[in-house]
Structure 1
């Protein structure tokens, strides 16, 4: 790419609410694959149309997830120069395939369906906590956060009494407004914690996922312990952060579009299908996914060279009118199949079935038991997190 100083800075500013940055609509129409500049001065290509995003995510041979590749986009305060052991999110096949294979059975749709009674029990407890809290109550801390924190803890075997430790380190690890040393320190503390926990499970295995993986693969030498630690970091952080935010923002979006909330109150069976529409609409993965280009490719009317970087915008793709009619409208009756919030291709989120079930159970409980739920503050006064890869609010005060 030729040197330019007038490139748009990425990520672009986002306003409170659910719409992606305003520039995305113009980019999709005029220049769907265009140059932008990242925080460290790096120039990369931003991909904004649905078809192009899917194509990039479906081609791991040419669009690599490996941070050691030339051109890998550096979005974080800490520069990612190589994949940490076990970090399947940033590895390519065949290593990525090996890691995913170890987890595939436990995250299959049928296996996750079997967890629904336990998830319903956890949601019922969170609902009781919310209903007995003084009003106004923070839906985030009283209801949404405890659900994935407990579910992930039960699944992985992470003690719930440690949740304040791992949730605080998880947030710091993902916060792109913090200095690099603080981000790195949070990750190191999280890795040290999980390393100790896995060592305990090797001594005394339980029935949880980390115990099974440690006993079956680490003990036999098929997996190094630091690889399992890396896998556990992704599962813990991803399982807690994304679903907490998805539940909270879903409630806020529905309450901001009251007719959509009332539709679910009247017909709670609509909730399961509404979850994918909410995932499409919310713009949860607000900074997109990054790839390094491994070989020259014609893409979106551009020639992208090997050694250049690409950022694919999932939130922009989910608002592409060529794929979703009237895409800026929330419609809980819409068939939003094919949205890209969980990514696409070989790296599609392994926890997507679990996230859907947690959201379905949580939203159904609220529309059935707290139909008069409402927010306290107008949307423009609600404090949002704009500096994290997963869009969220700092709190959501509600009454009922």
Structure 2
């Protein structure tokens, strides 16, 4: 990308823990496709309006193959996607993996899974109640619920959670060195590889075993898929449960409306997903050819970041005050799960987990509240997936 003007940096500093940086509003109004320098030092274009974000994520002229840049690694140094890491692949290779997995995450299958999710939720709440307050909601509830669910779905031993959660955190932390990132990734791949070998020897009733039985993937590809699903399956939902709880506690009128009318939970989940949008720095794509977007000429090879968080606050898409949390807001399509062929595969699972977790948590602890001042809650500003590092609550 060539540009004679000094580049602004991508906004990253929040004035409120629940809002994206304020500069995004100005960018949407004045420069919706803006040349910027990203946190890793690379340069490219930042896209901030809802419709433009959808365009970038849905247009095959923008490639997903260079999405996971790390500090100190330039775009020209990015290797080919690891086998099985299909979120970094374009069609038709991406299609091959997606086809194998789509049937595992249907709405019907997630509904069938709901009783098991509710049982896991109830067990974690029982343990919380026995421990008495204050407790860290992340470790006591928000992290165990999706971790237990994804372990059961994949066939991963939950007893190994400390190992995979530690490596997962290193992989999604922005300030991990290239060496730390590579070591964590290698450890995670080694962990899943041992599982794949075990499933080949003795398959069980889980997703990894079904993928092994399909005979369509190599061991390396199975490892890549397993790593991706394991990280995505607990990192994202855990942070939505914890951050969503914190957000409701800080918006008492919305919490009261939800308690008064529990039927609002479906819309509340969608609104929290939209309002909080935990993929905080956006989704990266690379232009495969020269593309004009909103009057800007994006050259072949240029990096483009589509800001999901900004798009979800776009008043041109959501006219009724998108900066306000409204648990009763009529459903409007949002970008929290992305868009296009890479839209989140596990979105129905995430919805089921959030609904079960938040419903039961608020019902079980009607006097739930923060145990520390909100400004003392450690936020995940240093992570690709936003949320809270811990959330001390009592009741």
Would you call these one fold, judging by a TM-score over 0.5? yes
Query: Unmatched 5+ residue regions in structure 2?
Result: none
Displacement after TM superposition at 1:18 (Å): 0.8
Displacement after TM superposition at 1:4 (Å): 5.0
Q: Name the structure 2 match of 1:44.
A: 44
1:255-274 aligned within 5 A = 255-274=249-268
Q: Name the structure 2 match of 1:65.
A: 64
Q: Structure 2: how far apart are the matches of 1:236 and 1:284?
A: 17
Report if the CA contact (8 A) 2:35-2:45 is conserved.
Answer: yes
Q: Structure 1: how far apart are the matches of 2:227 and 2:376?
A: 33
When residues 289 and 164 of structure 1 are mapped into structure 2, their CA distance, relative to the original with a 3 A threshold, is same
When residues 154 and 76 of structure 1 are mapped into structure 2, their CA distance, relative to the original with a 3 A threshold, is farther
Displacement after TM superposition at 1:14 (Å): 2.5
Q: Structure 2: how far apart are the matches of 1:175 and 1:58?
A: 27
1:241-390 aligned within 5 A = 241-324=235-318, 325-390=320-385
Deviates more, 1:345-354 or 1:257-266: 257-266
Aligned length: 391
Q: Structure 2: how far apart are the matches of 1:277 and 1:294?
A: 34
Q: Structure 2: how far apart are the matches of 1:38 and 1:17?
A: 21
Displacement after TM superposition at 1:76 (Å): 4.9
Q: Structure 2: how far apart are the matches of 1:281 and 1:118?
A: 28
When residues 142 and 73 of structure 1 are mapped into structure 2, their CA distance, relative to the original with a 3 A threshold, is closer
Q: Structure 2: how far apart are the matches of 1:160 and 1:4?
A: 53
Q: Structure 1 length as normaliser, TM-score?
A: 0.95
Q: Name the structure 2 match of 1:10.
A: 10
Deviates more, 1:9-18 or 1:358-367: 9-18
Report if the CA contact (8 A) 1:291-1:310 is conserved.
Answer: yes
Q: Name the structure 2 match of 1:93.
A: 91
Q: Structure 2: how far apart are the matches of 1:127 and 1:77?
A: 43
Q: Name the structure 1 match of 2:386.
A: 391
Report if the CA contact (8 A) 1:152-1:236 is conserved.
Answer: yes
Q: Name the structure 2 match of 1:83.
A: 81
Displacement after TM superposition at 1:233 (Å): 0.8
Give the root-mean-square deviation of aligned CA atoms. 1.5
Displacement after TM superposition at 1:180 (Å): 1.1
Secondary structure of 2:9's counterpart equals coil
Q: Structure 2: how far apart are the matches of 1:77 and 1:339?
A: 33
Q: CA-to-partner distance for each residue in 1:83-142, whole Å, 9 max, x for gaps?
A: 110111010000000000000101111111110010010000111111112321111111
